[in-house]
Amino acid sequence: MGSNISKIEDAVYDFYRRNYPDVWFLAPPFLASVGAIGFVGYSFANNRAVPSSPNVSFSHLLGVAGGFGISFWMNTVHGTAMFRLLTRQDFGTVQSHISSVYFSSTAVLASLSLGTFLLRHPYNTWSKDAANLGIALTVALICAEVNSIVLSPLVTNLMFDRNNIEFIQSAKSSDEIEKLHAEDPKYRIISNKFSLFHSLSLATGLVYHGLQWYHLWFLADKCLVL
């Protein structure tokens, strides 16, 4: 079963590579992130509240549940486990494949939460409570989009540049890496840039996750007064 799934994945990947140029603006994560912005733009332009429906409610639930679920898993389970089990280079390689999918998924899910909220509560009708949630969902979407479109590709490229220098210089242990950092100006610049943008990516990811907690609390708080 596993081998059959792998063959299907390979076939889909080969089809994509043959039919689309290998350029960043045609990459699926980028297209997904742009599509997420488009959906929110459509919802924002809608000045009349749409009637309540199971489809809108389910889409909103999917946005908050999916966004919370994957961010909780990535922040508390996946990252800790992979960091302990893999070497730094292997961990970075695994993360480079997962991060683009993860951040583009958070952008799509954040757009579902905000877009469906705007469909039911247009911007010009917001009450104080609606404004609080609307602002929180907007900030969550911005964090997800910044990570997906800007920070994740930048951090991945810097990581590979750093790993390539470590491989060429045969720096594996922590002492060898510290020595390389002290003696190689190019490596030091790349390493410092990686640390800076990785920290920014981590911070925006934590803000996104914190806002998912707020969203769940907001929904639970409103349900308890029913």
Rg (CA), the chain: 21
Cβ proximity of 151 and 201 under 8 Å: yes
Percent of residues, the chain, with pLDDT higher than 90: 44
Specify the pLDDT at position 178.
87
Of residues 21 and 166, the one with the higher pLDDT is: 166
Cβ proximity of 214 and 112 under 8 Å: no
Residue 87 has pLDDT above 90, yes or no: no
**Across 185-195, average pLDDT:** 92
Residue type, 147: N
Task: State how far the Cα of 109 lies from the Cα of 51, in Å rounded to an integer.
Answer: 21
Task: State how far the Cα of 188 lies from the Cα of 169, in Å rounded to an integer.
Answer: 13
Residue 112 has pLDDT above 90, yes or no: yes
Give the contacts of 68 (CB within 8 A, at least 6 positions apart): 209, 212, 213, 215, 216
